[in-house]
Amino acid sequence: QVLLVESGGGLVQAGGSLRLSCAASGRLGRMFQSSVMGWFRQAPGRERELVTSISWNSNMTYYVDSVKGRFTISRDNAKNTVYLQMDSLKLEDTAVYYCAADVTSAETWLMGPFDYWGQGTQVTVSS
Protein backbone atom coordinates (compact mmCIF):
# COMPACT_ATOMS: atom_id res chain seq x y z
CA GLN A 1 0.00 0.00 0.00
CA VAL A 2 1.20 3.45 -0.86
CA LEU A 3 0.17 6.31 1.33
CA LEU A 4 0.75 10.03 1.26
CA VAL A 5 -1.00 11.90 4.02
CA GLU A 6 -1.13 15.68 4.06
CA SER A 7 -1.76 17.82 7.11
CA GLY A 8 -1.59 21.46 8.13
CA GLY A 9 -4.26 23.03 5.98
CA GLY A 10 -6.82 25.44 7.35
CA LEU A 11 -8.19 28.95 7.33
CA VAL A 12 -5.79 31.89 7.44
CA GLN A 13 -6.05 35.61 6.81
CA ALA A 14 -4.37 37.18 3.84
CA GLY A 15 -0.74 37.90 4.65
CA GLY A 16 -0.56 35.01 7.06
CA SER A 17 1.36 31.75 6.95
CA LEU A 18 0.67 28.03 6.94
CA ARG A 19 2.93 25.00 6.88
CA LEU A 20 1.78 21.87 5.14
CA SER A 21 3.29 18.47 5.80
CA CYS A 22 3.09 15.26 3.81
CA ALA A 23 4.21 11.96 5.25
CA ALA A 24 4.90 8.91 3.11
CA SER A 25 4.34 5.40 4.36
CA GLY A 26 3.92 1.88 3.11
CA ARG A 27 5.75 0.97 -0.05
CA LEU A 28 6.30 4.64 -0.86
CA GLY A 29 8.02 5.07 2.47
CA ARG A 30 10.82 2.86 1.20
CA MET A 31 11.05 4.79 -2.08
CA PHE A 32 10.69 8.24 -0.59
CA GLN A 33 14.38 9.00 -0.36
CA SER A 34 14.85 8.55 -4.11
CA SER A 35 11.61 10.22 -5.19
CA VAL A 36 10.92 13.68 -6.52
CA MET A 37 8.20 15.19 -4.34
CA GLY A 38 5.77 17.87 -5.35
CA TRP A 39 2.90 19.98 -4.16
CA PHE A 40 -0.04 20.65 -6.43
CA ARG A 41 -3.14 22.73 -5.87
CA GLN A 42 -6.57 22.92 -7.40
CA ALA A 43 -8.94 25.81 -6.94
CA PRO A 44 -12.65 25.54 -7.77
CA GLY A 45 -13.21 25.69 -11.51
CA ARG A 46 -9.51 25.53 -12.26
CA GLU A 47 -7.12 22.84 -13.36
CA ARG A 48 -4.72 21.26 -10.93
CA GLU A 49 -1.33 22.96 -11.13
CA LEU A 50 2.14 22.04 -9.97
CA VAL A 51 3.09 24.60 -7.35
CA THR A 52 6.52 23.37 -6.37
CA SER A 53 8.71 20.28 -6.46
CA ILE A 54 11.98 19.12 -4.96
CA SER A 55 14.64 16.61 -5.91
CA TRP A 56 15.49 13.65 -3.73
CA ASN A 57 18.54 15.37 -2.23
CA SER A 58 16.96 18.84 -2.00
CA ASN A 59 19.53 20.22 -4.42
CA MET A 60 16.96 21.22 -7.00
CA THR A 61 13.61 22.93 -6.60
CA TYR A 62 10.93 24.27 -8.89
CA TYR A 63 8.34 26.97 -8.10
CA VAL A 64 5.53 28.27 -10.23
CA ASP A 65 5.96 32.00 -10.76
CA SER A 66 2.95 32.95 -8.66
CA VAL A 67 4.49 31.58 -5.44
CA LYS A 68 8.17 32.43 -5.91
CA GLY A 69 9.52 34.25 -2.89
CA ARG A 70 6.52 33.28 -0.75
CA PHE A 71 6.48 29.48 -0.64
CA THR A 72 9.31 27.16 0.35
CA ILE A 73 9.43 23.41 -0.18
CA SER A 74 11.67 21.21 1.93
CA ARG A 75 12.01 17.57 2.84
CA ASP A 76 13.31 15.37 5.62
CA ASN A 77 14.22 12.00 4.17
CA ALA A 78 14.81 10.52 7.61
CA LYS A 79 11.16 11.22 8.40
CA ASN A 80 9.80 10.45 4.91
CA THR A 81 8.17 13.86 5.00
CA VAL A 82 7.96 16.82 2.67
CA TYR A 83 6.90 20.28 3.76
CA LEU A 84 5.44 23.38 2.18
CA GLN A 85 5.95 26.63 4.05
CA MET A 86 3.51 29.21 2.73
CA ASP A 87 4.06 32.84 3.70
CA SER A 88 2.42 36.09 2.63
CA LEU A 89 -0.64 34.14 1.60
CA LYS A 90 -3.03 35.71 -0.88
CA LEU A 91 -6.69 35.14 -1.58
CA GLU A 92 -5.75 33.43 -4.83
CA ASP A 93 -3.79 30.78 -2.93
CA THR A 94 -7.09 29.30 -1.76
CA ALA A 95 -7.25 25.73 -3.05
CA VAL A 96 -6.99 22.09 -2.15
CA TYR A 97 -3.31 21.26 -1.89
CA TYR A 98 -2.07 17.81 -2.85
CA CYS A 99 1.21 16.12 -2.15
CA ALA A 100 2.57 13.88 -4.89
CA ALA A 101 5.50 11.57 -5.51
CA ASP A 102 7.36 10.85 -8.74
CA VAL A 103 9.24 7.60 -8.36
CA THR A 104 10.10 6.99 -12.02
CA SER A 105 11.54 10.16 -13.55
CA ALA A 106 15.20 11.04 -13.65
CA GLU A 107 16.39 12.66 -10.47
CA THR A 108 17.02 15.96 -12.26
CA TRP A 109 13.50 16.19 -13.73
CA LEU A 110 11.04 17.93 -11.42
CA MET A 111 7.98 18.28 -13.66
CA GLY A 112 6.52 14.80 -13.41
CA PRO A 113 4.47 12.92 -14.27
CA PHE A 114 3.73 12.08 -10.66
CA ASP A 115 2.81 8.56 -9.72
CA TYR A 116 1.27 8.77 -6.27
CA TRP A 117 -1.04 11.32 -4.69
CA GLY A 118 -2.30 12.28 -1.28
CA GLN A 119 -5.93 12.96 -0.50
CA GLY A 120 -5.51 16.72 -0.35
CA THR A 121 -5.84 19.36 2.33
CA GLN A 122 -7.90 22.53 2.08
CA VAL A 123 -6.20 25.91 2.36
CA THR A 124 -8.52 28.89 2.58
CA VAL A 125 -7.20 32.43 2.64
CA SER A 126 -9.65 35.07 3.83
CA SER A 127 -9.58 38.85 3.53
pLDDT tens digits along 48-104: 999 999 999 999 999 999 999 999 999 999 999 999 999 999 999 999 999 999 998
Q: pLDDT category, 28, cuts 50, 70, 90?
A: confident
Report the mean per-residue pLDDT for the chain: 95
Is residue 27 over pLDDT 90? Answer: no
Contacts for 42 with CB less than 8 Å, ≥ 6 apart: 48, 49, 95, 96, 98, 120
Mean pLDDT of all residues in 8-13: 97
> From residue 32, how far is each of 1, 9, 78, 106, 118 by CA, in Å?
14, 22, 9, 14, 14
**Comparing 2 with 90, which gets the higher pLDDT?**
90
> Rounded distance, CA 118 to CA 98, Å?
6
Is residue 19 over pLDDT 70? Answer: yes
Is residue 2 over pLDDT 70? Answer: no
Is residue 4 over pLDDT 80? Answer: yes
> Rounded distance, CA 64 to CA 95, Å?
15
